[in-house]
Amino acid sequence: LLTELNKEGTTIIMVTHSQHDASFAHRTVHLFDGSLVASVIA
């Protein structure tokens, strides 16, 4: 469902601790103690 919505142009924001779930993203943002430590575009 999320993939189909994204293909239609809908932005999806998901919070996860799962590397598997994050692997579906076009971009990931990594936070530590509330601070940005990495931003990765796939």
pLDDT in tens, the chain (42 residues): 888 998 999 999 999 999 999 998 999 999 999 999 999 998
In a domain, 3, yes or no: no
Q: Is residue 33 part of a domain?
A: yes
Q: How far apart are CA 37 and CA 35, in angstroms?
A: 6
Task: Give domain status of residue 39, yes or no.
Answer: yes
Q: What's the total number of domains in the chain?
A: 1
Q: Judge whether 40 lies within some domain.
A: yes
The reply to whether 22 falls in a domain is yes
Residue 8 resides in a domain: no
* Closest C-alpha to 22, from 10, 38, 9: 38
Give me the domain span that covers residue 27.
Answer: 16-42
Does this model's pTM top 0.85? My answer is no
